[in-house]
Amino acid sequence: MRLFRGVNLSGRSKSPPFLPFDDPAPLDQLRAWGFNVLRLLVIWEALEPERGRVDESYLAAVSRVVDAAEQRGLYVIVDMHQDLYARALGGDGAPPWATRHDGPPASGPRWFMHYLRSSAVQANFADFWRDEDGLRTAYLETMARLVTWMNGHPNVIGYDFFNEPMAPMVDVVSGRFESEDLRDFNAECARVLERAEGPARLQFIEPCPLVAFGVPSRLVHELGPTAVFAPHIYDIGALGIRRYHPRVSTYPLALETVTDWASAHDMPLLIGEFGALNGIARAREMLEDECRMLDRVFASWTAWHYDVVGPEWNDEDASIVMVGGAEREFTISLIRPYPRAIAGTPTRWESKRGRTWTFEYDASGEGPTELVVPQRWGGKRPTFGVDGAEARWSEDEGDLGVLLLEAQAGAHVVVTLTEH
């Protein structure tokens, strides 16, 4: 079993030049923090500015970001990103040629409400899912070109073919969108991957983004074993009052909902987005609690988002760092130990509000378990105790400490870490 922890890269990609940065040096910090994956935003408008013409200069620029990630030991999930369908409507995603309905654009940090209010947004989504004028077909053809281009990058582990898929609200509320349109689209994307002449990749599938707030998903799963459930979760209570209160947080319910869905469909779980938006007070405590809950269910995640350039898209104030890369007050909550590879079955990963962390698993005897302990969290060599396995502290990865655990099959291993 492998776990992935990382960030989205980044909100800056939503607008021209549609790239997260000009200099990849900020990726060094992510590796030192213990992250091992990037959810890399790619924008349809930049990829196919004219119908039928894929911009290979943009693909080359994206490839350079992927190469820079590989040089630092970072995996990449290619995320075809959109919000509100298109930039002309205050979001990002579709190019002008694929935007058939005009309307007033959204602006500001409450842009999400435009999904409910804008008839133009809903009409454009309706056209896309119905394949009016061959829009969905054209999109899938472009996805095939993208996958073929990326075949040469071994650190690309998979694709999220449509960020936060939405539709007219009548179809969302009835469940028809997830159970029919999104089911068919995901099957078509799976065929794109099957036809690609390259290595096997994972397919990260998202439900309707209302799941982020605890609404149950009606997504139908008809995909193979390479599918990963990749919902987003945000605390709507904290967003509404711009302050974190554990007693009114919607995060526990939303996490339980998506965890139950993933378990029922026997799918791995990766939380594609979560984070602190819009200047939420007590954000550090909120993210600490959210990460603790994710630890307990052994979920992979990519936090929203890492932007060292700015300015923030729609004034969301969501980057986990300031312009230039300095940490924010809540960044440290995301820099935490985790088992990136588990040779066996995990049973417990618990971090209480004190400084003691406990990790337990039943060993399979197949290779080492790797427990990542960033120096930013635990110093050069944190205090640890191990029962049931032989432990070796590795410093072969620079600023990233790794505790390697070797155990015989059937052994129950208990590891405790003490934060400095």
Reported as a single tens digit per residue, the pLDDT across 283-308 is 999 999 999 999 999 999 999 999 99
The answer to whether residue 340 is domain-embedded is no
pLDDT of residue 102: 96
Q: Note whether 183 and 307 are same-domain residues.
A: yes
pLDDT above 70 as % of the chain: 99
The answer to whether residue 269 is domain-embedded is yes
Q: What digits encode the pLDDT tens for the residues 146-185?
A: 999 999 999 999 999 999 999 999 999 999 999 999 999 9
CATH of the domain at 25: 3.20.20.80
pLDDT of residue 354: 54
Single out the residue of 23, 116, 38 nearest to residue 73, CA to CA.
38
Position 382 confidence tier, pLDDT thresholds 50, 70, 90: confident
Residues in the chain: 420
Q: Note whether 318 and 358 are same-domain residues.
A: no
pLDDT of residue 356: 82
The answer to whether residue 243 is domain-embedded is yes
Mean pLDDT: which of 60-64, 208-212, 376-380 is highest?
60-64
Position 399 confidence tier, pLDDT thresholds 50, 70, 90: confident
pLDDT of residue 199: 84
- Domain holding 130, by residue range, is 5-335
Question: Contact 110/91 with Cβ under 8 angstroms?
Answer: no
The mean pLDDT value for 356-385 works out to 89
The mean pLDDT value for 244-269 works out to 95
- Which of 270 and 365 is assigned the larger pLDDT? 270
> Average pLDDT, whole number, for the chain?
94
Final residue belonging to a domain, choices 335, 370, 401: 335
CATH of the domain at 385: 2.60.40.1180
Q: DSSP assignment, residue 83?
A: B
The answer to whether residue 79 is domain-embedded is yes
**3-class DSSP assignment, residue 375:** helix
Spatial strand order in the sheet of 383-387: 344-351, 356-363, 412-418, 383-387
The answer to whether residue 100 is domain-embedded is yes
Question: Contact 274/301 with Cβ under 8 angstroms?
Answer: yes
pTM over 0.85: yes
Q: Note whether 331 and 353 are same-domain residues.
A: no
Q: Note whether 127 and 214 are same-domain residues.
A: yes
Within 80-134, residue ranges assigned H as helices are 114-117, 119-130
Within 247-299, residue ranges assigned H as helices are 251-264, 283-296
The answer to whether residue 369 is domain-embedded is yes
Q: Note whether 357 and 410 are same-domain residues.
A: yes
Task: Please name the residues in contact with 266: beta carbons below 8 A apart, sequence gap of 6 or more.
Answer: none
The token duo for 51 is 């119908």
Tell me the C-alpha distance between 371 and 374, whole Å: 10
Q: Note whether 182 and 113 are same-domain residues.
A: yes
The answer to whether residue 248 is domain-embedded is yes
Q: Note whether 103 and 224 are same-domain residues.
A: yes
Question: Contact 228/202 with Cβ under 8 angstroms?
Answer: yes
Q: Note whether 365 and 224 are same-domain residues.
A: no
The answer to whether residue 78 is domain-embedded is yes
The mean pLDDT value for 117-126 works out to 96
Which amino acid belongs to residue 328?
Answer: R
Q: Note whether 272 and 308 are same-domain residues.
A: yes
Tell me the C-alpha distance between 325 and 317, whole Å: 14
Final residue belonging to a domain, choices 335, 355, 370: 335
Count of structural domains within the chain: 2
Question: Contact 132/42 with Cβ under 8 angstroms?
Answer: no
pLDDT of residue 420: 65
pLDDT of residue 409: 95
Q: Note whether 303 and 393 are same-domain residues.
A: no
Q: Note whether 143 and 163 are same-domain residues.
A: yes
Q: Note whether 281 and 404 are same-domain residues.
A: no
pLDDT of residue 353: 60
- Residue 319 reports pLDDT greater than 60: yes
CA 49, 54, 60, 65 torsion: positive or negative? positive
Position 61 confidence tier, pLDDT thresholds 50, 70, 90: very high
Question: Contact 365/343 with Cβ under 8 angstroms?
Answer: yes
The mean pLDDT value for 255-269 works out to 95
Tell me the C-alpha distance between 315 and 279, whole Å: 10
Q: Provide the terminal-to-terminal Cα distance of the chain, rounded to the nearest Å.
A: 28
Question: Contact 81/43 with Cβ under 8 angstroms?
Answer: yes
Q: What digits encode the pLDDT tens for the residues 345-359?
A: 999 998 876 578 899
- Residue 406 reports pLDDT greater than 90: yes
Final residue belonging to a domain, choices 289, 306, 335: 335
The mean pLDDT value for 217-236 works out to 92
pLDDT above 90 as % of the chain: 85
Position 383 confidence tier, pLDDT thresholds 50, 70, 90: confident
